[in-house]
Structure 1
Amino acid sequence: MRYLDDLSVGTFWETGGRTVTESDVVTFGTWSGDMHPLHTDEEYARRSEFGGRVFHGPGALAMAFGLEMRLGWKDGSAVAFLGIRDWNMLLPVRIGDTLRVREEVVETRPSRSRPDRGIVTTRIDLLNQHGDICQSGLWTVMLLRRPQ
């Protein structure tokens, strides 16, 4: 667990990996209602610019959330997830890709109105097994400050 006061710009972490499965595609497609043929129809997807089926972009974002939570640094100190900025889907994620998250603190600031908390912004890079950045952006979280 890390409090806002424990973080500085440049602090970074990297998660272990998680491999995207056929089940992930079916589950996310069913749950979200996104049954686009790029995800569900191999023949359609093969004729596309991707050359085969791809995992849903928002599904990969959801995996990034799960991977990042495994780090545990916010357990007990996170008050609220405040938002995502500048999220970009740079490369397709495919069934069989193993994803991991690299996270780096890019800004911290104490709250002006609530001295027991503050805001941390981190850059999240979702990487595949080759180290290519598939998705990237900024996440902002409200954290508790270290008790006095």
Structure 2
Amino acid sequence: MRYLEDFQPGEVISLGSYVVPREEILAFARQFDPQPFHVDDEAARRSIFGGLIASGWHTASICHRLLVEGLLKNTASMGSPGLDELRWLLPVRPGDELSVRLEVLACTPSRSKPDRGALKSRLEARNQKGEVVMTEVATVLFSRRSPAPT
């Protein structure tokens, strides 16, 4: 179990990889983001993307799953107050393999609640060519191993 004190700014954590199946791209988009370039091959070919691409929200969901499996399930995570930045830099296509890593930017104990603190991080997803397809800067709250003295 990792607590806030167990993370250090500059630390990089590999969160694993995931191959994005075509059928999953279609299923996610049909339910949550039914834009033509996500759900229709012909429309996607005619789009600026030149072919079917995953919804950015699908890409973010894949990254979050890897974050949970590769890190958060073994920590004292208390959830997140939100994202500071989310960028979709390149399209994700059927069959792409996404590799995700997280860099710890800061660990800040709470001033008002000594049992917890905030970890600010930058998540990066790369495709099989090593190209960065998505970045995210976010804060996650973590329990402290032993609360600071008051």
Give the TM-score band, short-chain normalised. over 0.9
Contact 2:103 2:121 in 1 (8 A): yes
Q: Which residue of 1 aligns with 2:80?
A: 81
- Corresponding letter in the other structure for 1:7: F
TM-score for both structures, normalised by structure 2: 0.91
Count matched residues.
147
Identity of aligned residues (%): 36
- Distance in 2 between the 1:74 and 1:8 partners? 18
Q: Which residue of 2 aligns with 1:16?
A: 16
Post-superposition shift, 1:113? 0.8
CA offsets, 1:34-56, max 9 Å, x none? 22110122122112221111000
Contact 1:67 1:101 in 2 (8 A): yes
SS in 2 for 1:122: strand
Q: How does 1:30-109 map to 2 (within 5 A)?
A: 30-32=30-32, 34-73=33-72, 75-109=74-108
Deviates further, 71-80 or 124-133: 71-80
Inter-CA distance 125–133: structure 2 relative to 1 (3 Å threshold) = same
CA offsets, 1:5-64, max 9 Å, x none? 1111011111221111122112212331x2211012212211222111100011100000
- Corresponding letter in the other structure for 1:22: R
Where in structure 2 are there 5+ consecutive unaligned residues?
A: none
